[in-house]
């Protein structure tokens, strides 16, 4: 592993250093092809020259680069009171070597692209972390804070390289250790229904607004700016907003002025279309769509478009059925479907690749239950009651399976509690891991 520091600069109250690391694409072939990782080091300005312990932040996803933060917002201020922080762009994301519709054709056809993408799951991400850790920390283990999918990666870390972890902190990210993707979505859809019910109870006027939009799109889908096809199903997928603390409010504001009068009637306004495009496009994070079900794959069972298949077991999500009666149109949640690889221009060239990944049957295990049962790393987890994205029951089973892990179950926050809760969530997790709470 090589580490190149490309720049050091300042923001209010912090000093930032850009790092670029060279790591093997396949860690089992260390002399083979290499890719680049990007990480942003953050230290409080008043502690710039101090020998501080490190905290590694693993972003949710999959497929998202670390947040671009300015100053000390959210949890970061609490972390900087005692740590030097690395915000890592996991492989394929952010400023790391990209994997998208523009670059994947360099690998060859869809089969080669799918093979390449098998190196972008939690197991490879953890091996990246272990490759770069010694050069940054001098060999010392670091505290790992995993948000959502970052928590899945942290569970893999404790399964495969616990010697690299001083303390493991999870926020909305304890995965089922052995659940298939079908199980994940079979548990998820009822939670999504409850989130819809809560949204419509808060904003009853949105029932008719959503029905009107869905009816308009069932009659004639709309091509958004940039070529994205907005269908009724795509409109329903805006329900992903309902899993965050303020998402219901943002969805309401989006729906309230959807139509504008035009010659001959009404049409979806340009402003509405542009906002929807921003929510639905995967141009900035295609790995989220490509690998979302693969993060649950650990055996010889294909994921086989699990979210799409399991949705059929819940007919209340059928917009046409809802409109034929007097039911509200239900929004869906954190799910990926085959039609998205037709509707989204950023995903269309990758449709066949996605299908190959969905049919794959040779996935390797991501977690080691025996090693987790013998865990000696101090660990704590925020488990958000009724989390729309990660099942609470699964999280609690996994919490019980990781020796010594202390869970904090709360309904004060949604899935984004580590952001919405400011310093409180991280402070609580650190106190639990240190037996101070």
Among the listed residues 96, 148, 159, 395, the single catalytic one is 148
Long-range Cβ contacts of 318-323 (<8 Å, 24+ apart)? 319/214, 319/218, 319/232, 319/233, 319/236, 320/218, 320/232, 322/211, 322/214, 323/211, 323/214, 323/215, 323/218
Annotation says 123 is catalytic? no
Annotation says 148 is catalytic? yes
Helix (H) or strand (E) holding 41: strand 34-44
Coil, strand or helix: which one is 29?
coil
Task: Match 């979505």 to its residue by tokens.
Answer: 185
Phi-psi region of 93 (alpha: psi -120 to 50; beta: other; left: phi over 0): beta
Measured distance CA(280)–CA(422) in Å, rounded: 27
Among the listed residues 123, 182, 415, 416, the single catalytic one is 415
Annotation says 116 is catalytic? no
**Residue among 170, 22, 33 nearest 96 (CA):** 22
DSSP-derived secondary structure for 330-392: PP--S---TTHHHH-TTTGGGHHHHHHHHH---PPP---HHHHHT--S-EEEEEETT-SSS-H
Is the distance from CB of 128 to CB of 41 less than 8 angstroms? no
Which residues touch 245 (CB under 8 Å, ≥6 apart)? Answer: 413, 414, 416, 417, 420
Measured distance CA(196)–CA(242) in Å, rounded: 8
Give the catalytic positions in this structure. 148, 362, 415
């Amino acid at each position: 592993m090589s580490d190149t520091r490309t720049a050091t600069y300042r923001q209010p109250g912090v000093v930032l250093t850009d790092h670029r690391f060279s790591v093997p694409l396949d860690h089992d072939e260390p002399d083979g092809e290499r890719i680049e990782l990007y990480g942003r080091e953050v230290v409080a300005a008043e502690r710039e020259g101090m020998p501080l312990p490190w905290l590694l932040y693993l972003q949710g996803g999959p497929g998202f680069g670390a947040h671009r933060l300015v100053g000390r917002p959210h949890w970061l201020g609490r972390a900087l009171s005692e740590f030097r922080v690395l915000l890592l762009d996991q492989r394929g994301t952010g400023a790391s070597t990209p994997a998208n519709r523009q670059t994947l054709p360099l690998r060859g056809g869809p089969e080669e692209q799918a093979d390449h993408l098998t190196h972008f799951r939690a197991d490879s991400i953890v091996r990246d972390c272990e490759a770069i850790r010694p050069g940054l920390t001098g060999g010392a283990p670091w505290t790992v804070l995993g948000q959502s999918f970052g928590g899945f990666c942290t569970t893999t870390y404790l399964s495969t390289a616990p010697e690299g972890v001083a303390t493991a902190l999870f926020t909305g990210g304890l995965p089922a250790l052995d659940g298939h993707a079908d199980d994940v979505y079979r548990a998820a859809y009822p939670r999504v229904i409850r989130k819809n019910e809560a949204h419509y109870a808060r904003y009853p006027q949105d029932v008719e607004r959503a029905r009107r939009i869905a009816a308009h799109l069932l009659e004639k889908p709309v091509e958004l700016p940039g070529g994205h096809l907005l269908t009724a199903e795509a409109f329903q997928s805006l329900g992903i907003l309902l899993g965050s603390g303020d998402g219901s409010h943002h969805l309401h504001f989006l729906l309230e002025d959807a139509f504008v009068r035009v010659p001959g009637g009404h049409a979806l306004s340009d402003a509405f279309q542009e906002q929807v495009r921003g929510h639905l496009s995967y141009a900035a994070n295609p790995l989220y769509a490509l690998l979302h079900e693969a993060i649950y794959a650990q055996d010889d069972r294909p994921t086989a478009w699990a979210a799409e298949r399991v949705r059929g077991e819940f007919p209340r999500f059928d917009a046409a059925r809802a409109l034929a009666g007097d039911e509200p149109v239900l929004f869906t949640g954190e799910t990926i479907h085959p039609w998205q690889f037709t509707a989204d221009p950023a995903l269309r060239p990758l449709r066949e690749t996605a299908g190959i990944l969905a049919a794959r049957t040779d996935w390797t295990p991501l977690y080691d239950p025996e090693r987790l049962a013998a865990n000696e790393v101090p660990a704590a987890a925020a488990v958000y009651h009724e989390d729309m994205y990660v099942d609470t029951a699964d999280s609690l089973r996994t919490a019980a399976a990781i020796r010594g892990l202390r869970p904090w179950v709360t309904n004060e926050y949604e899935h984004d509690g580590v952001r919405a809760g400011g310093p409180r969530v991280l402070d609580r997790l650190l106190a639990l891991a240190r037996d101070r709470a």
